[in-house]
Amino acid sequence: MKRSEFSPNGNAVENLIRQTLKKHTSPIMLIRRSILEKQYRHFRAHLPKVAPYYAIKANPHPDVIKAFLRLGSNFDVASAAEMNLVLSLGGAPQRIIFANTIKSIEDIQSAYKRRVMLMTVDNEPELYKIAKHAPGARVLVRIKVDNIGSIVELSLKFGADPEHAVFLLRKAKALGLHPEGISFHVGSQCANVENYLHALEIASGIFKEAKEGGLMLNTLDIGGGFPIRHMDDDRHPIFETMAGKIRVEMARLFDKKTKFIAEPGRFFVGPAGVLITQVIGRTFRNNKNYYYLNDGLYADFSGIVFDHCKYELKTLRRGQKFLSTVAGPTCDSFDTISLSEELPELDVGSVVYAKNIGAYSSASAVPAFNGFTPAKILVVQ
Dihedral class, residue 24 (left if φ above 0, else alpha if ψ from -120 to 50, else beta):
beta
Instruction: Report the amino acid identity of residue 237.
Output: P
> Which member of 232, 331, 367, 371 is catalytic?
331
Dihedral class, residue 287 (left if φ above 0, else alpha if ψ from -120 to 50, else beta):
left
Instruction: Report the amino acid identity of residue 164.
Output: H
| CA count, 13 A, side-chain hemisphere, 162 | 17
CA distances from 270 to 69, 227, 230 (A): 17, 10, 8
Q: Where are the beta strands (DSSP E) in 133-287?
A: 138-142, 150-152, 178-183, 188-190, 219-221, 259-262, 273-285
Residue 173: exposed, middle, or buried by beta-carbon count in 10 A (0-12, 13-18, 19+)?
middle
CA angle 325, 326, 327 (to 5 degrees): 120
**Which among 76, 124, 130, 83 is positioned nearest to 103, based on CA atoms?**
130
Please give the Cα distance from 9 to 25 (Å, whole number): 22
Catalytic-residue membership of 190: no
CA angle 197, 56, 310 (to 5 degrees): 70
Contact 219, 184 (CB under 8 A): no
B/e letters for 265-294, b = 16+ CB within 10 Å, e = fewer, are: bbbbbbbbbbbbbbbeeeeeeeeebbbbbb
Instruction: Report the amino acid identity of residue 132.
Output: K
The catalytic site residues sit at 331
